[in-house]
Amino acid sequence: MSSIRQFQVTFDCAEPERVARFWCEVLGYVVPPPPKGFASWEGFKASRSPEDRDAWFVCVDPENGGPRLYFQRVPEGKVVKNRVHLDVRVGTGLVGEERLTVLQAECARLVALGAVHVRTLVADDENESCIVMQDVEGNEFCVD
Mark 113-141 as b/e (b = at least 16 C-beta within 10 Å).
Answer: ebbeeeeeeeeeeeebbbbbbbbbbebbb
Residues 21, 49 within the same domain: yes
Residue 1 pLDDT exceeds 90: no
- Look up the CATH number of the domain holding residue 65: 3.30.720
pLDDT average, residue stretch 99-105: 96
Residue 130 within any structural domain of the chain: yes
pTM of the model: 0.87
| Domain final position from 35, 50, 73 | 73
Residues 113, 64 within the same domain: no
Residues 90, 125 within the same domain: yes
Count the domains in the chain: 2
Residues 105, 55 within the same domain: no
Q: Are strands 116-121 and 130-134 parallel, antiparallel or unpaired?
A: antiparallel
Three-class SS state of 60: strand
Residues 99, 136 within the same domain: yes
- Residue 99 CB coordination number (10 Å): 19
Residues 15, 49 within the same domain: yes
Mean pLDDT, the chain, rounded, equals: 92
- State the residue range of the domain holding 60: 8-73
Note the pLDDT tens digit of each residue in 107-140.
Answer: 999 999 999 999 999 988 888 999 999 999 999 9
> What pLDDT is attached to residue 5?
72
Residue 115 host element (H or E): none
Residues 12, 69 within the same domain: yes
> What pLDDT is attached to residue 24?
97
2 vs 72: CA distance, rounded Å:
28
Residues 91, 44 within the same domain: no
> Are 113 and 28 a contacting pair, CB within 8 Å?
no
> Are 134 and 88 a contacting pair, CB within 8 Å?
no
Residue 39 within any structural domain of the chain: yes
Residue 80 within any structural domain of the chain: no
Residue 50 pLDDT exceeds 90: no
Three-class SS state of 58: strand
- Amino acid at the residue 111: V
